[in-house]
Structures are given as structure tokens and as C-alpha cells.
Amino acid sequence: MLRKAKRIVVKVGSQLLAGREGLNREFIESLCSQIAEVREKGIEVVLVSSGAVLAGIKALKLKRKPFSLAEKQALSAVGQPYLMAEYRKAFQKFGVETGQVLLTAEDLRSKERFHNAKNTFGALFKLGVIPIVNENDTLSTEEIRIGDNDNLSAHVSVLVDADLLIILTTSPGVFDKNPERYPDARLIPVIEDIKEALEKCDFSTQSTYGTGGMATKIEAAAKAAKKGIPVIIAGGREERVIERILKGERLGTLVMPSKKLKAKGYRILYLMKPVGKLFIDEGAEEALVKNGKSLLSKGVKRTEGEFKKGDAVEVYGLNGELIGKGIVRCSKEELERSKLCIHRDDFVLLKEMEQK
Ligand code: GLU
């Protein structure tokens, strides 16, 4: 599976990139040489890199912390060019050009912009350029923020149809509990079922000092895995880690791909923000859950929030249980007059399939 990868996404976090006096040049050089090497073998690579805010703090020699959101946005504006300059310098040693792609959640939510971004990546690959992606922190207001680059890297993997996502971090992989606190913590080599792993293990306290710690890495891995993309969470400081993973060496934690969501399902589930809630009766629930049918308006008993045609909503049973998420074919006002509320093609079932 891993040895056959033709297109991969590599994500590196701020902690790996932090040096004593700014960005860690040695790490960046090693990372770029590995990526250049991998590329020589005909594998296309996208690099998702954090470190803009960090580079901004270092460039301005700021000590004070924490920073407000507006300050962080300003700091990323200062730091992003520093970050790119470092990558450019390091990649140029191998004759590789880089391209900067800054994304917001908005770019991924809308179908048109998603395709537009996809085309841009396609063109960058054709030109032999390594795309270096970060969230457009400077312009991302709370509303349109993805918030962490782990989740961003999952979305980018889906966007470019990657065969593998490698999330590099300061920890050698995912442990069943916090290894700093518990000496008997074990590294989990393979996660087959994220849901089960989440029940058995405690990821929340496994900090990697980055924005989201281990929790957002698991969250991101779960998303990519649902789209059929395997994910490896591994130690970024391990010698030639990327090449070794691609050679099939067991490093870090492999999160196995699970169900294969279609691109539309992924967008509905993970990219579109639900703006309303629909509460449906038993008949409608049965049609959705057991019979794989669409949701008709007459089955909707109550709504919350304002929605218009094309918006994403959450669908609940009358007992308040979340059934799924979908895109409505009519606005709240039109609901009574229109027959179809959510077409099956625009619906993702979240409730476990019940036994018939
Ligand atoms: N986009 C942020 C930065 O470049 C990092 C977000 C994260 O660490 O996940 O500083």
C-alpha cells in the first residue's frame, strides 16, 4: 500500500520547525532533501507546513505571549515569507522550485473553489513544482478558519487525491496514553478502527506542543481514512523518515483507511458548516436509515436555524439523536411547498446502520 504511493502529502508542525534563533534550518534542509529524493523517484509531494506565526514571532523578536487572534494573523503575515524563503533556499540546492498555496476553509467548502484549487495543484504538479501549503491565517476569520494544519493536511490530501498522508511530529507516533506521564505507555503501530481506538486510548493529553497536540492529528487521520487515504503519524526527527516509510519500514503509527466516502460526502461531512437542524419523524428516519431513501419535506417536523437551498444541515430523529448531515434542496421558507428536502445523493448517514 505505502510502497505504491504515487502522490503523498507531508505535514510538518511548528514544533519541528522551531530552532533556537528562528526556524530550524537543519531540520528544513533535511526535510527538503528527503522530499527532493522522493520526488526523484517520480512521487509527487505536497508539503503542508506550519511555522508562519512562529517565524513571525522570531523575526520580530517578540517575547510576550499569548497573542490575540488578530496578532497571530499579523504575525503570520510577517512569518510566511520567511518560511517560504527558507524552503526555497533549501529546495533550490536540489534544483526544485516551490509554490506557495494559502487556503481557507471557504476555498474547500465551495464546490467551485475546491475544483479551482484542485486544478491549481494539478498544474503545479505538471510544472514539477512542490506546492507548500499553509492556512491563509492572515485572512482567516473565525468563521472561515480550519484552525489547525493537521485537519488542513487531511483536506489537502483529499483535494489532491493523495495515496498517503504523512503527519510528522515531535512524538515517535501515537501512544495509548501520554508517554511523558506514564512509563508503561505503548506506541500503537496500527490503528484499524479509529472509533475503537478513541474508546480505548487517551489522546487528549498527548501534547506535541503544537496547535492541536495528538488529538487533532487523530481527528485529521480519521477524516483522511474515511476518504480511503492511509495516514502515518511519525517522528519528524527520525533519520530519513519519509524515505523509510515509503520503502515500507514500519515507523510511527499507521492509520488504516476505512470506508471510502465520495468527494461529495467528504465535503458534506467535514468541510461544509451546518447552518440548521432538521428534526424528522420515524417514517422519514426509517426511509433514510434503513431504506436508503431521500428525505421528503413532509417528514420534517421541526427546524432550527435559517437555511437556504444548497446549505448543509444536520438531521436529527425526534428523540434528538443525530442521524446524518446533508444539503437541503429548499430554504426553510420553501419547506412546506416543496416535496423533496434532501436528496439521497446529498446525504451522509452518520447513525450506525441498524439491523433490519
Ligand atoms: N498556520 C499556522 C502557522 O503557520 C499553524 C497552525 C498549526 O500549527 O496547526 O503558524
- Does one domain contain both 237 and 93? yes
Is residue 268 a part of any domain in this protein?
no
How many whole angstroms from 146 Cα to the centroid of ligand 1? 10
How many whole angstroms from 325 Cα to the centroid of ligand 1? 28
Q: What is the mean pLDDT of residues 293-314?
A: 96
Question: Residue 99's pLDDT is what?
Answer: 98
Q: What is the mean pLDDT of residues 232-257?
A: 96
Range of the domain at 336: 274-354
- Does one domain contain both 29 and 118? yes
The rounded percent of the chain whose pLDDT value lies above 70 is: 96
Is residue 269 a part of any domain in this protein?
no
- Predicted TM-score (pTM) above 0.75: yes
How many whole angstroms from 166 Cα to the centroid of ligand 1? 17
Of the three residues 199, 229, 260, the one that is the final residue of a domain is 260
Is residue 321 a part of any domain in this protein?
yes
Residue 19's CATH number: 3.40.1160.10
Cα 19 from Cα 110, distance rounded (Å) = 37
Pocket flag, ligand 1, residue 134 (CB < 6 Å): yes
Of 273, 228, 219, nearest to 110 by C-alpha is 273
- The CB-based long-range contact list for 199-207 (8 Å cut-off, 24+ gap) reads 200/176, 201/174, 201/175, 201/176, 201/177, 202/176, 202/177, 202/178, 203/174, 205/177, 205/178, 205/181, 206/171, 206/174, 206/175, 206/177, 206/178, 206/179, 207/178
Pocket probe mutation, ligand 1, options 14, 58, 103, max atoms within 8 Å of Cβ? 14
What does pLDDT average to over the chain? Answer: 92
How many whole angstroms from 128 Cα to the centroid of ligand 1? 26
> In total, how many domains does the chain have?
2
Q: Which atom of ligand 1 is nearest to the CA of 14?
A: 8
Sequence-ordered list of residues with C-beta below 8 angstroms from that of 277, at least 6 positions apart, any chain: 303, 304, 305, 313, 314, 315, 316
- Does one domain contain both 11 and 102? yes
Pocket probe mutation, ligand 1, options 134, 139, 155, 156, max atoms within 8 Å of Cβ? 134
- Does one domain contain both 246 and 287? no
Is residue 125 a part of any domain in this protein?
yes
- Does one domain contain both 153 and 291? no
Question: Residue 199's pLDDT is what?
Answer: 83
pLDDT in tens, 146-195: 889 999 999 999 999 999 999 999 999 999 888 888 889 899 999 998 88
- Does one domain contain both 205 and 64? yes
- Does one domain contain both 11 and 154? yes
Q: What is the mean pLDDT of residues 234-260?
A: 94
Q: What is the mean pLDDT of residues 290-301?
A: 96
Residue 339's CATH number: 2.30.130.10
Of the three residues 221, 237, 260, the one that is the final residue of a domain is 260
Number of Cβ within 10 Å of residue 130's Cβ equals: 22
Question: Residue 172's pLDDT is what?
Answer: 93
Question: Residue 209's pLDDT is what?
Answer: 47
Q: What is the mean pLDDT of residues 44-54?
A: 96
Of 309, 297, 303, nearest to 279 by C-alpha is 303
- Does one domain contain both 104 and 131? yes
Is residue 267 a part of any domain in this protein?
no
Q: What is the mean pLDDT of residues 196-201?
A: 82
- Does one domain contain both 34 and 182? yes
- Does one domain contain both 245 and 307? no
Is residue 2 a part of any domain in this protein?
no
How many whole angstroms from 51 Cα to the centroid of ligand 1? 6
Pocket flag, ligand 1, residue 13 (CB < 6 Å): yes
Does the pLDDT of residue 341 top 90, yes or no? Answer: yes
Pocket flag, ligand 1, residue 56 (CB < 6 Å): no
Lowest mean pLDDT among 91-105, 120-134, 208-222, 241-255: 208-222
Question: Residue 139's pLDDT is what?
Answer: 83
Does the pLDDT of residue 47 top 90, yes or no? Answer: yes
Cα 11 from Cα 127, distance rounded (Å) = 21
Pocket probe mutation, ligand 1, options 73, 140, 149, max atoms within 8 Å of Cβ? 149
Q: What is the mean pLDDT of residues 64-79?
A: 89
- Does one domain contain both 296 and 250? no
Does the pLDDT of residue 204 top 80, yes or no? Answer: no
Cα 345 from Cα 353, distance rounded (Å) = 17
Pocket flag, ligand 1, residue 149 (CB < 6 Å): yes
Pocket probe mutation, ligand 1, options 148, 153, 209, 216, max atoms within 8 Å of Cβ? 148
- Does one domain contain both 199 and 311? no
Pocket flag, ligand 1, residue 53 (CB < 6 Å): yes
Pocket flag, ligand 1, residue 14 (CB < 6 Å): yes
Is residue 266 a part of any domain in this protein?
no
Does the pLDDT of residue 349 top 80, yes or no? Answer: yes
